[in-house]
Amino acid sequence: MRKPKKQKRKIDAAPSASLDLRVALNVILDQVMIQLKANAANILLFDPHTKTLISAARSGFRSHASASDPRLGEDRAGRAALDRRIITVPDLAAEPAEFVRSAKFAEEGFVSYVAIPLIAQGQVKGMLEVLYRVPLSPTEDWLRSLEALEGQVAMAIDNASLLDNLQSANLDLTRAYETTLEGWSKALALRNKETEGHTARVTELTVRLAHAMGVPDADLVHIRRGALLHDIGKMGIPDQILLKPGPLTDEEWVVMKKHPAHGYELLSPIPYLRQALDVPYCHHEKWEGTGYPRGLKGEQIPLAARICAVANVWDALRSNVPYRPAWSQERAIDYIREQAGKHFDPAVVDVFLRLIGQSV
């Protein structure tokens, strides 16, 4: 029994079709069913910690209750994995005690069974079970084809598992990064004694505004990180200036206005954050060109920074601070509207006003 090359390519290509291991296994299983003309098939993955073969993809079974997860050396599948050899049972009725399954398995009506250990790079990756509801008389050619198929499936599963593990590792790393950023943000808030929740509110509003303006989801991730760290440069501002309860002198303002540049210097060496730099570096630039640190004007200012500028000022105005009480919503809205085309990008202001339910 020779396998068509087209089907082989489908098995080999399965992992590249999806980073989802379960999807890849089902693609593989479909091709196994076609090539071996099986009535049912089951792919079990080996868990080296529990020494158990765990069913990961099944096809052709009448009931999920007929599944079982044998341990290494247990049942035909476990023994085939332990011995690293193909086991065929042409007549299941002839040796019922040798084939331990759930009570529901008898209702499946299987007559013949084949267990194929899946070995890649010298390690057992799992087990492929192939079942028939008709008698099976395996020939030498059929067995040779089966052995070749075992190598293809094992390698495909190994590759798919590597991709799945890499995806999981990347997800864990991303979560660790995000937790670190949130920790930096909270550390700054504690030092700065800012209004409780300011950074979280600015971040949430910045992301909402960006989404409403049609910013792609892939870019929203970077905008969120930038908003979380929009004031991180204040870590470089001396306490006597950062924590001063009253207005700053002209000389002190010169120092305070350096915090976007400090933020850039702090974050730019981190490749992970380079696409988030626009917000901490440019959120104090003004549409008319009178902002800092670089005096950018209009669309020279990155869109993410223009969006965060509105969110940052809005939250500052609506919060109580030592030198003034919070503004009313009406007064803050009037200020934001009046600053369109001066401090703020008019297009961002329009979306902001619509977002909070105000007419433009």
Residue numbers annotated as active site: 234
Pick the residue with more confidence: 166 or 78? 78
- Which is more confident, 207 or 12? 207
pLDDT at residue 39 tops 60 = yes
Extended beta strands in 17-147, E state? 40-47, 52-59, 87-89, 112-120, 123-132
Q: Residue 11 — very low, low, confident or very high, per pLDDT cuts 50/70/90?
A: very low
What are the backbone angles phi and psi of residue 11, rounded to the nearest 5°? -65, -45
Q: Are the CB atoms for 327 and 318 separated by under 8 Å?
A: yes
Q: Which segment of 47-51, 191-195, 213-217, 307-311 scores lowest on mean pLDDT? A: 191-195
Q: What are phi and psi of 302, to 5 degrees?
A: -55, 145
Q: pLDDT tens for residues 164-222?
A: 565 566 666 677 777 777 777 777 777 776 666 888 899 999 999 999 999 999 999 99
- Least confident range of 97-101, 168-172, 297-301: 97-101
Task: Tell me the two tokens of residue 284.
Answer: 């104090």
Nearest to 310 by CA among 349, 346, 347, 280: 349
Of 168, 92, 95, 104, the closest CA to residue 132 belongs to: 92
Q: Which of 99-113, 122-136, 200-214 is least confident? A: 99-113
Q: Which amino acid is located at 18 in the chain?
A: S
Q: Given this model, what pLDDT does residue 8 score?
A: 47
Residue 157, exposed/middle/buried by CB under 10 A (0-12, 13-18, 19+)?
buried
Provide the pLDDT for residue 16: 41
What confidence score (pLDDT) does residue 107 get? Answer: 78
For the cut 50, the answer to whether the pLDDT of residue 281 exceeds it is yes
* pLDDT at res. 14: 44
Q: What is the pLDDT of residues 53-62, one digit of tens each?
A: 888 888 888 8
User: What does the pLDDT read at residue 303?
Assistant: 97
pLDDT bracket for residue 18 (50, 70, 90): very low
Backbone angles phi, psi at 340, to 5 degrees: -60, 130
Mean pLDDT value across the chain: 82
Please tell me which residue, 193 or 360, carries the higher pLDDT value.
193
My answer on whether omega of the bond before 293 falls inside 30° of 0, hence cis, is yes
The stretch 316-322 carries a mean pLDDT of 86
Summarize the confidence of residues 27-37 as an average pLDDT.
82
Phi, psi of 40 (to 5 degrees): -155, 155
Residue 220 falls in which region: left (phi positive, over 0), alpha (psi -120 to 50) or beta: alpha
Question: Region 233-254: what's the mean pLDDT?
Answer: 89
Cβ–Cβ under 8 Å, residues 42 and 128:
yes
CA angle at 228 for the pair 222 and 229, rounded to the nearest 5°: 95
pLDDT at 321: 77
Give CA–CA dist 335/338, Å, rounded: 5
Confidence band, pLDDT 50/70/90 cuts, at residue 6: very low
CB 89 within 8 A of CB 123: no
CA distances from 257 to 254, 267, 284, 293, 305 (A): 5, 17, 9, 7, 16
Tell if the pTM clears 0.75, that is, is over it.
no
